[in-house]
Structure formats: C-alpha cells, structure tokens
Homo-oligomer: A and B are copies of this chain.
Amino acid sequence: MKEPSTPPVTVLLTDLYQLTMVTAYHELGMEQPAVFEFFVRSLPAGRGFLLAAGLRQVLDYLEGLCFEPADLEWLGQTGRFKPDALRRLSAMRFSGDVDAMPEGTVFFANEPVLRVTAPLPEAQLVESRVINLLNLQTTIASKAARCRLAAVDRKLVDFGMRRAHGAEAALLAARACYVAGFDATATVEAGRRFGIPITGTMAHSFIQAHDDETGAFRDFARVHPRGLTILIDTYDTVRAARAVVDLARQGLTVEAVRLDSGDLATLAREVRAVLDAGGCGRTRIVCSGNLDEEAITGLLAAGAPIDSFGVGTRLDVSADAPYLDCVYKLQEYAGRPRRKRSSGKATWPGRKQVFRESDVNGCIAGDVVGLLEEKLPGRALLQPVMRGGRALEHPSLDEIRARTRRELNSLPAACRRIEGPVPLEASISTALRELAARVDREFP
C-alpha cells in the first residue's frame, strides 16, 4: 500500500538560530550552493548497527516547507527581524537536492546517511527538523530491529504509544517498528495513517470492572468474538487459564491469551500445559510487560512457549539509548570543502559516498567512506531521493520492510548479536583523508 504524506508541522518548529542565520545569509548575499550531511558520530553502547528510518517524513517536510503569513506576522512581532528579512523568508521554498540511504538500510558511525545540496539559506533552515525526524525514527527502528533479531520468527507488536514522547513520537515509533519488521501496532491512528495492521483487546480494568473474572471473559467474547485474546494475569494466571479452557469447552474460540506480569517463562509453560491438556492447543500465548530485545532473548533461550510479544515502553523510547549522537554538518560551501575542528567533534569535509562490499554470502565485508566522485569497489549506499525540491518515487512500506529483511540478513555476526554487539567501523578513503588535510591547511 502507498504511504500517505505526513501532515505539515509549522516551519517555526526550529531553533531560533536557524532563522537568525538564514536572515543573515540573505542580507549578506551568501546564497551559493551548500552541502550538508547527516551522520552519527558514534553508536550508542549496546548497538552493533543502526537502521535508517525517517527519510519519508524528511522529504515530506522539505516539499511542504514555507512560511505562512501567520508565521511571518509572529516573527515580525518579536522585533528580531527587519521587514526585508521577512519578505525574503516569505518567498522561501526548499529547491534543493537530497541523496540518502533508503529507509531500511543498516549503517554505522561516520557514514553520511543523507546529503542536502541547496542554496545555503535553504540547506541551513532545515537542519533542526531534519535531525529531529531522522534521530527519532532511526533510534526506534534500530531498537526494534534488535527486537526483530531476538524474536526470530515470533510475532512482534508495538504496544508503546502511552509512554512514547507525545503524539508524533507515538505515531512515528509505530512506523519505525514496522519498518524494522514488527508485525502490528496497538496504536489505532498509526493503522489509519500508515496502514499498519492494528491489534488489541482488553486491559486489566475490563476484568476489574466486573465482579468476577470469568464473567468478564464471557462478556468480552460476546461483544468481540473475532480474534479473541483474553488477558489472564489480573488475579491468578494459571487459574484464569483453566477458566479459558472451560470457556472453550462451552464453544468459545479463544485465539490467544495474554500474560502481562510475573515470571513470564514459567507462567507461559504452565499456561501452555493447561491449554494443551484442555484441548486448546491452537490458542496462542502473547506476552507483554517490560519487554525488550534482551528479555525476549532470555525468554526464548529458556524455551518459553511464547508465540507473540507485545513490546512497549522500552522500545518506544529506546530506553537504553534514547538518542543518537547525530549531526547535520556543513561539508562544502560555494564549491569549497569545509570542516569543523572543534575538540572531539571534527568532521570529514566534502561530498561523500559510502561504498559497501559484501562477501560471497551477501554478508557485509566492509564499508568505506570516500569522496562522491571516487570510484571505489562496492555498492554506493546514498541514492538520489529528491531533485529540485521534488521527491523522486517513494518506496512503499512493504518495499522498505523487504529491504530491512535483506539488510538484517547481511549483518556480520558481531553486529547482529543482542549481548555485547560490536559495530563495524567504516574506513576512510585515502582521497578523503587527503582532502581533510588540505582543508586544514586552507583554514588554519
């Protein structure tokens, strides 16, 4: 299915300094082409790779970028901008080019993921929101991809809306999880917006609002018999599993039971035994409650008979690594490569490409970050995705998911593993090192 475009967010969702710089560039006549690249300086501990996500929302943002009359009026009232400056802002659109790794590509530190080439004011203006969008979805997709690897072929559902950081975070986290290989989400609006399958039945409150648990199960089944999942841990999990068996004997089709607390491995085994002995061999077991990729690994290693995992909070905020050390840096202006040399934050100058070589099994053998014009062996990861301010064809979410599957399969074992993963380190090409040295001589 075709993914719809993202509703626009006001252009004032930016850092004030973008506006002071843009108006300065306009007034100073600094409107030559600039090249900015987005990359991650170093991977968070506990990540052996990152999964690119969020490009679609970036392109939608760039296509829709403009200052509305109300934005300009408010900016005028701040007294910070001259009428001429506001007139220049009112005419601004994004007219540049974007090259990027397609969503669902795995990548590593210091690899440009997205390159913007546009007149300096335009390329500058978009920095804050581009980072905001790519950081969020890449952070969540990378965590979700680890859950996907840990869960092997079990079903995975995003349960995290309530503790995601606000509305947009919840929706884009659901999307990022789906990009990474999740099967469904509990978030209804993400189902509508992105076409992601939605799932969900009852909470503890439904049971508690009834005077007895079995009555609650029966009541729920009467109203929503299709795809019935019954929550069985409100009072006594194993006792509730026996009640489920009784209901099944009375003709109810219970598709699944959900466990949300306690020792999930032990309880899942006990519940499985009760269900199997009671003729409910086809009733699946769904588990949730403080799960993440490590918990899933532990449960499956313990042989817990769990068919499906609902993963929430720790995923939707990427609790162990809630942000990326990601930046969007000027690499070239007016045809001259540029470089920041701030302590601990130096960057590689110029327009770059990532070249990826694979071994005979399709496994990543190594990445090289080189200059765009270099002809190095391997697949070039950054591809054209926008020209002259218009996005080229968007892949569907299904195509992105297929890419993710191929990419996760291409990861070296050290990158893939859940405990103590070791990321691949991209090499820097000789030509790029030479360029950096030359830039240092030019800007002493």
Q: Which of A4-55 touch B at CB < 8 Å?
A: 9-10, 12-21, 23-25, 27-28, 30, 34, 36
Residues from 115 to 156 in A contacting B, C-beta threshold 8 Å:
120, 124, 127-129, 131-133, 135-136, 139
Q: Once bound together, how far apart are the Cα atoms of A165 and B80, in whole Å?
A: 28
Q: Are A203 and B127 in contact (CB under 8 A)?
A: yes
Alpha-carbon distance between A170 and B14 when the two chains are bound, in angstroms? 9
Q: Let me know if B261 and A21 touch, CB within 8 A.
A: no
**Contact residues in B for A163 (Cβ distance below 8 Å):** 131-132, 135, 323-324, 326
On chain B, the residues within 8 Å of A103 by CB distance are: none
Some 5 contacts from A to B, beta carbons below 8 A apart, are A12-B189, A13-B170, A13-B189, A15-B200, A260-B342
Whether A14 touches B322, Cβ cut-off 8 Å, given contacts A170-B132, A224-B20, A340-B234, is no
Q: 5 closest pairs, A vs B, by CB?
A: A166-B168, A16-B200, A165-B165, A17-B200, A262-B343
Q: Which residue of B lies closest to A329 (CB)?
A: B205
Interface check A309, CB cutoff 8 A: no
- B167 & A13 in contact (Cβ 8 Å cutoff): yes
Are A219 and B162 also in contact (CB < 8 A) when A167-B132, A200-B17 are?
no
Structural contact, B202 and A17, CB atoms closer than 8 A: yes
Answer yes or no: A111 CB below 8 A from chain B CBs: no
Residue ID in chain B nearest A207 by CB atoms:
B340
Residue A301 at the chain B interface, CB threshold 8 Å: no
Q: Is A313 an interface residue (CB 8 A)?
A: yes
How near does chain B come to A130, taking the closest CB pair, in angstroms?
A: 8
The digit string for A321-341, where 1 denotes a CB below 8 A from any CB of B, is 011101001100110001111
Are A17 and B186 interface neighbours, CB within 8 A? yes
5 A-B pairs besides A14-B161, A14-B188, A132-B162 with CB distance below 8 A are: A13-B167, A20-B201, A168-B168, A261-B345, A317-B317
**In this complex, what residue of B is CB-closest to A34?**
B209
Q: Are A204 and B330 in contact (CB under 8 A)?
A: yes
> Would you call B15 and A187 a contact (CB within 8 A)?
yes
Q: Does A375 contact B (CB under 8 A)?
A: no
Q: Mark A65-99, 1 if CB is under 8 A from B, else 0.
A: 00000000011001010000000000000000000
Q: Find chain B residues with CB under 8 A from A17 CB.
A: 186, 200-203
Please provide the chain A residues from 335 to 373 with a CB less than 8 Å away from any CB of chain B in the complex: 338-345
Which B residues touch A292, using CB under 8 A? none
Please tell me if the beta carbons of B15 and A161 are within 8 angstroms of each other in the complex: yes
Interface membership of A164, Cβ < 8 A: yes
Q: How far is the CA of A187 from the CA of B128 in the complex (A)?
A: 9
Encoded as 1 (CB less than 8 Å from any B CB) or 0, chain A from 186 to 198 comes to 1111011000001
In the complex, chain A residues 284-339 whose Cβ is within 8 Å of any chain B Cβ: 313-314, 317-319, 322-324, 326, 329-330, 333-334, 338-339
Chain B residues near A263: list those with CB within 8 A: 343
Q: Contact partner of A223 among B23, B165, B172, CB < 8 A?
A: B23
A208 at the A/B interface (Cβ < 8 Å)? yes
Chain B residue at minimal CB-CB distance from A17: B200
Q: Choose from B162, B226, B261 the contact partner of A342 (Cβ within 8 Å).
A: B261
Name the distance in Å between A31's Cβ and chain B's nearest Cβ: 11
